[in-house]
């Protein structure tokens, strides 16, 4: 039985990894979960672990610091696997000098986890049979073969163009990519082709997952993978990549439209119930896995006002209803709809309803008709 520890500061990632596969089916058991490297380190000092899957960037102690400390202090002989965000792609490879077994790019797939488990099993069998385990063949290397290079600037340009549906930006970045390969004499090996291709695939997948976490990641990834050509500089490959980039940009536009309608509908329903709570745009952005700036833009487009203005409108409308239907004091009504400063409540009420709460109550039948 392989004993596994999961380490990530995002609770939903920890839980997601724990249910992504049936660990028992692969002769594994999750023995611990930690939210940062320091917590993981304390467990390693007293617990028996075979495999540690850890995020890179975490508070208190990063994943790299965790691996380095565990190795330098001889705390554990466990195999370490890095969870890497896309912007940490190159940084993740530095973990190799501390004998990290492999890295997994987020969002992690079930196949990725299974492949890691198979590697651990092979390493354990080799160790038990007396063979020397060679970390240099673990899947990533700190000594890349000649010509292995990540063309990150050009690939990031393509990503940005697709994300913003900017065809000129996308096409110019694709031209720059192939120009750098052909004119600057970069002879990409098969390994280098895969590194660049995978970087582009997972960055594109991430754009879709950011918009809708419920999408079938495997299907989208296969679609991307089947339509990206990185192994040639001929005009056909350039045109093919440009065509695919345009199609994927349109796919993201449609996805945004579908997701935004659903998200705004859910937020609208929740605000009608929980309007009195201290709710912020960032809270909803985190809950629905949508960028807060993008969510703010959706509110302005849909309602013609900011999220804060919309929330005030909901609260004041609720207060107006209570003013007419009850005899509660104005201060109590203000607090019941989420305002702890009565003067501020009155200012907002006047701005939205055009009169004071007292006048609104006095002339309730007129305002309610």
CA atoms of 208 and 248, how far apart (whole Å): 10
List, in sequence order, every beta strand (DSSP E) within 8-148.
Answer: 28-34, 51-55, 79-84, 102-105
Give me the DSSP letters along 147-216.
T----HHHHHHHHHHHHTT-HHHHHHHHHHHHHHHHHTT----HHHHHHHHHHHHHHHHHHHHHH-TTS-
**pLDDT value of residue 87:** 52
Q: How far apart are CA 108 and CA 120, in angstroms?
A: 17
Cα separation, 340 vs 322, whole angstroms: 16
The pLDDT, as a whole number, for residue 256 is 74
* Chain centroid offset of residue 167 CA: 25
Question: What's the pLDDT at 129?
Answer: 61
- What pLDDT sits at residue 287? 76
DSSP 305: S
C-alpha 305, offset from chain centre:
27
Domain ranges within the chain, ordered by starting residue: 2-137, 152-255, 309-368
Cα separation, 100 vs 111, whole angstroms: 19
pLDDT digits (tens, 9 = 90+) for 184-234: 555 556 656 666 776 787 678 778 877 776 666 666 767 777 777 655 555
- CA-closest candidate to residue 339, choices 307, 308, 299, 300: 308
Task: Going residue by residue through the chain, which has 369 residues, state the pLDDT in tens, using 9 for 90 and above.
Answer: 999 999 998 877 787 788 788 899 999 999 999 999 999 999 998 888 999 999 888 888 988 899 989 988 888 889 999 887 655 555 655 665 667 887 787 778 788 899 999 989 988 887 766 544 444 333 333 333 344 467 888 988 999 999 999 999 999 999 998 888 776 555 556 656 666 776 787 678 778 877 776 666 666 767 777 777 655 555 558 888 898 899 889 888 877 776 666 778 888 889 999 999 998 988 887 777 566 777 888 788 888 899 999 999 999 999 999 999 999 999 999 999 999 999 999 999 999 999 999 999 988 645 554
Between CA 151 and CA 322 the distance in angstroms is 62
Residue 136 has a pLDDT of 38
User: CATH homologous superfamily for 309-368?
Assistant: Homeodomain-like (1.10.10.60)
Pick from 99, 107, 7: nearest CA to 57: 7
| Residue pLDDT, tens place only, 237-288 | 888 889 889 988 988 887 777 666 677 888 888 999 999 999 898 888 777 7
Q: How far apart are the C-alpha atoms of 114 and 126, rounded to whole Å?
A: 18
- pLDDT score, position 147: 41
Helices then strands, each counted (H, E), the chain: 17, 5
Q: What is the DSSP letter of 52?
A: E
Q: According to the model, what pLDDT value does residue 140 have?
A: 36
Q: Is the peptide bond before 359 cis (omega within 30 degrees of 0)?
A: no
Q: How much is the pTM?
A: 0.44
CATH T-level topology, domain 2-137: Rossmann fold (3.40.50)
State residue 11's pLDDT score.
Answer: 78
Locate tokens 């495999």: which residue? 51
DSSP 8-class letter at 109: P
């Amino acid at each position: 039985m392989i004993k596994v520890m999961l380490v990530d500061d995002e609770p939903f990632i920890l839980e997601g990894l724990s249910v992504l596969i049936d660990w028992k089916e692969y002769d594994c058991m999750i023995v611990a979960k930690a939210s940062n490297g320091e917590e993981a380190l304390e467990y390693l000092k007293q617990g028996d672990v075979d495999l540690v899957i850890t995020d890179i960037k975490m508070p208190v102690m990063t994943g790299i610091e965790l691996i380095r400390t565990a190795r330098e202090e001889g705390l554990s002989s466990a195999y370490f696997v890095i969870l890497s965000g896309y912007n940490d792609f190159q940084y993740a490879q530095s973990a190799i000098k501390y004998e990290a077994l492999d890295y997994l790019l987020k969002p992690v797939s079930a196949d990725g986890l299974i492949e890691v488990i198979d590697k651990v099993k092979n390493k354990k069998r080799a160790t038990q049979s007396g063979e020397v385990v060679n970390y240099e063949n673990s899947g990533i290397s700190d000594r890349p073969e000649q010509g292995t290079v990540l063309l990150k600037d050009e690939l990031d340009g393509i990503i940005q163009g697709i994300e913003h549906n900017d065809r000129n930006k996308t096409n110019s970045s694709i031209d720059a990519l192939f120009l750098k390969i052909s004119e600057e004499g970069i002879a990409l090996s098969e390994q280098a082709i895969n590194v660049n291709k995978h970087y582009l695939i997972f960055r594109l997948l991430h754009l879709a997952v950011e918009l809708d976490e419920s999408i079938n990641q495997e299907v989208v990834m296969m679609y991307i993978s089947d339509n990206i050509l990185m192994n040639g500089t001929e005009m056909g490959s350039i045109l093919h990549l440009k065509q695919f980039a345009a199609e994927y940009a349109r796919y993201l536009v449609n996805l945004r439209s579908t997701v935004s309608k659903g998200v705004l509908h859910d937020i609208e329903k929740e605000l009608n119930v929980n309007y009195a709570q201290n709710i912020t745009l960032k809270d909803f952005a985190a809950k629905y896995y949508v960028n807060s700036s993008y969510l703010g833009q959706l509110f302005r487009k849909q309602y013609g006002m900011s999220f804060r203005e919309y929330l005030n409108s909901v609260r004041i409308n609720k207060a107006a209803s209570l003013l007419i239907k009850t005899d509660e004091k104005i201060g109590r009504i203000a607090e019941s709809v989420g305002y702890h400063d009565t003067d501020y409540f009155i200012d907002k009420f006047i701005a939205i309803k055009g009169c004071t709460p007292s006048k609104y109550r006095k002339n309730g039948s007129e305002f309610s008709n």
